[in-house]
Structure 1
Amino acid sequence: MIRFGVIGTNWITDHLIEAAREVGGFALTAVYSRTEEKAAAFAEKHGIPFTFTDAAAMAESGEIDAVYIASPTSMHAEQAILFMSKGKHVLCEKPAASNARELQRMIEAAERHDVVFMEALKSTLLPGFQAVLENLPKLGTVRRYFASYCQYSSRYDAYRAGQVLNAFKPEFSNGALMDLGVYCIYPMVVLFGQPEEVRASGYLLDSGVDGQGSLIAKYPGMEASIMYSKISNSSLLAEIQGEEGTMTIDSINIPKTITIHYRDGRAEDVSKPTERHTMSYEVEAFIGLIRGGQSKLNSHANSLAAMQVLDEARRQQGLVFPADLK
């Protein structure tokens, strides 16, 4: 069994725990929160035997082998490096860091201490994405990748009423690009590699983060178009357009229904069923890495390539986080 600690007591950690309990080899043994009250309440809710309010003490603890980090993005690097320096494996919620400089330090720490570090980006580990990978050659020469993730945030209602919650605070390295745009960019990098050029624009809110944006990434012989937003909705399908056919994907963040529309009018459903909680696949992949497996999907190289696209998009938009200035 791999004994896990968790950092963060919000809804995403609840979902991770629910999903992880569907995976063999997962044991939940510790939780960290800044307050004893929150740690105790979360521990009681999930049956967790050990609580911590000191991250360093948790990292030193002999009660865990690995940690899932779901704190604000601006805290990821410091916490991940702390735990890796104590020999703990790290599964870090997306985006893994505020910028590529932080991420590079995290990767170097993992290599230096011989531990597993993986970005918890579930999309590319789902059966649906496996179907995309396996059937991509049927499209012939690919000419365009299009992905959209526009989801109106309930926290934006509070923002409009004058209350700026964490989702819209630059000190936490948040905003539409980091929260939703990454779901479009990471699969692009996994499928096609790092682009030659990125052109980006976005709408910045008064709080200092972006509410929405778009980018075009250029590749040899093709381009990728991406839209993302936390202040509006979209129901557009993702598409990969090839010379022999076009693949449609119902949702780029949780791909389930994948169909190829050939030029001769035929349509082929190549979907693969998602049989478990969508987050269980990332836990399974992470445990597999700890046990000596290899991942070509959520790899250090792909995480770094995606983060470099995020950095360049933010640079062009004039979107600067406090973490960039450290």
Structure 2
Amino acid sequence: MNLAVIGNGNIVQSALSALKPLKGITVQAICVRPQSIAKGEEIQKEYDIPRLFTDYDTLLNDPDIDFVYIGIVNLLHYAYTKKALLAGKNVILEKPSCIHASEIKELAQIAVERHLYLFEAVTFLHNTFFETVRQTLAKIGNIKIVQCNFSKYSSRYKQYLSGNVHPVFDPKFAGGTLLDLNIYNINFVVSLFGMPEKTVYFPVKGHNGIDTSGIAVLSYPTFVAECTGAKDSDSPGFMQIQGENGWIKIEGAPDNFKALHLCINNKLETTSLITERHRMADEFTDFLTIYEHDDFDRMRYYLGISINVCTVAEACLDYVKF
């Protein structure tokens, strides 16, 4: 897999750190905006990337690149991904996939029609412990309550309060907590249980109408899921599923899972999730395996999750109304 990374933000640098020790994926290039060329050169040197582009179209015309990793502001995900797919490139797209479900559906259709690979980068969906959670669900009996919390006080929140608004807090760039942190919680619930019957979002809005925190409530026929996300306050992260015969709890936030607790009929088992392996390594390894084995059905399975999650997130955004 010959990969080009698009962007120069924190998530791109995290991805490059994860990719560095992996075999089978070669980072061939990085593409940044002309005004960010100094930062691009710094990243290029640090990660020993052969080429630096400041024009996206030129990069897409390079025959030596078969995959692009898109780690830019949310609002541009759709346009950049569509352009890459139409240029014949496979795409790894940072979450959230898109702002509107119609957009990710269109991108999925283009990918399928052209037999191109399109992945949304949601870390824990590709961790082995997540499959353990899925397989254990039946053992805890009928599900009654699901709770998730990913709250992380943003390093940019004080600047936001003073009027210095970064993209992550800017409605013009589709910022906000829902699409940044709470999207992980929604992924967790929807990937395990499918589409809810009803979705309601209770946002806490900042001075420009952005959701600095909020709670999404996803209603299913026999249980309710509560997804809490915050960038204006802190809390220990967790994901918890309660059933009639027991419970499952993942301790820690998606960027720092610590332990998996399984309690069935009052018998508790705990597995450490602390590892030296980079938190993003498993997803890239999985993408590579799917690509090398031409497992198109597996790719379509993940795209189905992306479409469902985007549909739920879009329903939540109706309650923000910037």
TM-score range, shorter chain: over 0.9
Whichever residue aligns with residue 309 of structure 1, its letter is V
SS of the equivalent of 2:252 reads coil
Inter-CA distance 142–209: structure 2 relative to 1 (3 Å threshold)? same
Letter of the structure 2 residue corresponding to residue 262 of structure 1: I
Q: 1:300 aligned to 2:299?
A: no
Shift of 1:296: 7.2
Counterpart contact for 1:116–1:290, Cα < 8 Å: yes
Partner of 2:31: 32
Deviations 1:72-91 (A, max 9, x none): 01111111111111111100
Question: Residues 231 and 273 (structure 1 numbering): CA distance in 2 closer, same or farther, change over 3 Å?
Answer: closer
Deviation, 1:203, is 1.5
Structure 1 residues 27 and 123, CA gap change in structure 2 (3 angstroms)? same
List aligned pairs for 1:152-163, cutoff 5 A. 152-163=153-164
- 1:262-307 CA-to-partner distances (Å, cap 9, x unmatched) read 34x3211255664521101111111122221353797111011111
Give secondary structure in 2 for the equivalent of 1:179. Answer: helix
Asked if 2 retains the 8 angstrom alpha-carbon contact of 1:31 and 1:50, the reply is yes
Q: Could you say what secondary structure the match of 1:250 adopts?
A: strand
Deviations 1:197-235 (A, max 9, x none): 112211121223111111211112111111111101112
CA distance in 1, matches of 2:110, 2:257: 32
Matches within 5 A, 1:12-161: 12-35=11-34, 36-161=37-162
Provide, for residues 146-174 of structure 1, a one-character-per-residue CA deviation record: whole Å limited to 9, x for no partner. 10111111100111222111111111111
1:178 aligns with 2:179: yes
Q: 1: CA distance between counterparts of 2:315 and 2:12?
A: 30
Q: Does the C-alpha gap of structure 1 residues 271 and 40 become closer, same or farther in structure 2, counting only changes over 3 Å? A: closer
Q: Is the 8 A contact 2:149 2:228 kept in 1?
A: yes
* 2:264 aligned partner, one-letter code: Y
Q: 1:297 to 1:262 in 2, by over 3 A?
A: farther
* Equivalent residue number for residue 6 of structure 2: 7
Answer yes or no: is the 8 Å Cα contact 2:203–2:213 preserved in 1.
Answer: yes
User: For structure 1, which segment, 126-135 or 153-162, has the greater mean C-alpha deviation from structure 2 after superposition?
Assistant: 126-135
1:301 alignment partner AA? G
| 1:142 Cα offset (Å) | 1.3
Question: 1:119-268 alignment to 2 at 5 Å?
Answer: 119-235=120-236, 237-253=238-254, 254-263=256-265, 265-268=266-269
Taking the aligned partners of 2:271 and 2:139, their CA distance within structure 1 comes to: 11
- The percentage of counterpart residues that share the same residue type is 27
1:236 and 1:92, CA in 2 relative to 1: closer, same or farther beyond 3 A? closer
**Equivalent AA in structure 2 for residue 87 of structure 1:** G
Change beyond 3 A, Cα 1:154–1:311:
same
Shift in CA distance, 236/7, structure 1 to aligned 2, threshold 3 Å = closer
CA 1:77–1:121: 2 relative to 1, 3 Å: same
Tell me which amino acid in the other structure corresponds to 1:46.
Y
What SS class does the counterpart of residue 307 from structure 1 fall into?
helix
- In structure 2, the CA distance between the partners of 1:255 and 1:132, relative to structure 1 (3 Å rule), is farther
Question: TM (normalized to structure 1)?
Answer: 0.92
2:63 alignment partner, SS class: coil
Structure 2: which 5+ runs fail to align? none
Query: What is the alpha-carbon root mean square deviation over aligned residues?
Result: 1.8
Distance in 2 (CA, whole Å) between partners of 1:220 and 1:271 is: 33
Query: How many residues get paired?
Result: 317
Q: Compared with structure 1, are the counterparts of its residues 296 and 48 closer, same or farther at alpha carbon in structure 2 (3 Å cutoff)? A: closer
Q: Distance in 2 between matches of 1:77 and 1:139?
A: 39
Is the alpha carbon distance of 1:297 and 1:106 closer, same or farther for their aligned partners in structure 2, counting shifts above 3 Å? closer
CA distance in 2, matches of 1:67, 1:97: 16
Q: Provide closer, same or farther for how the CA distance between residues 236 and 45 of structure 1 changes in structure 2, counting only shifts above 3 A.
A: closer
| Cα pair 1:164 1:207 within 8 Å, conserved | no
C-alpha contact 1:33 1:39 (8 A) present in aligned 2: yes
CA 1:40/1:308 → structure 2, altered by over 3 Å: closer, same or farther? Answer: same
Q: CA deviation digits over 1:230-278, x for unaligned, max 9? A: 1011125321001100111102514441112234x32112556645211
TM-score, normalised via structure 2 length: 0.93
Classify the secondary structure of the residue corresponding to 2:156.
helix
Are the structure 2 counterparts of residues 257 and 164 from structure 1 closer, same or farther at C-alpha, using a change threshold of 3 Å?
same
